[in-house]
Amino acid sequence: MNLTQQDWTAQLEEDANAVILDVRTEDECNEGIIPNALMIDINKGQAFVSQIEGLDKSKNYYVYCRSGARSAKACEIMHELGFENAYNLLGGFMQWDGDVVSPE
């Protein structure tokens, strides 16, 4: 499901079962990430799928990339793998106006 920046943030703040998922490359993540984001690069192909399969399907995933295109694809893949709640951030990190931190 695609959510605007405002809806994504509002829903995330109210969701005690939320996981933020950054599907950008390591180089992109080094420019900054949304706090507490889990980083899994969608460009890694089967490795991406394997890592996603290891995640808890009972959680709600808030997924983002640079512009919203890769994260939309990631949400599709997650739905195919049985994840019911994956929310794509429309506009991605480029339009993000919330907090940004350096990856650990």
User: Which are the catalytic amino acids?
Assistant: 65
Q: Structure tokens of 91?
A: 């506009």
Cα–Cα dist 94/85, whole Å: 23
Burial class (CB in 10 A: 0-12, 13-18, 19+), 13: exposed
Task: Give the distance from CA 96 to its chain's centroid.
Answer: 13
Cα–Cα dist 92/65, whole Å: 5
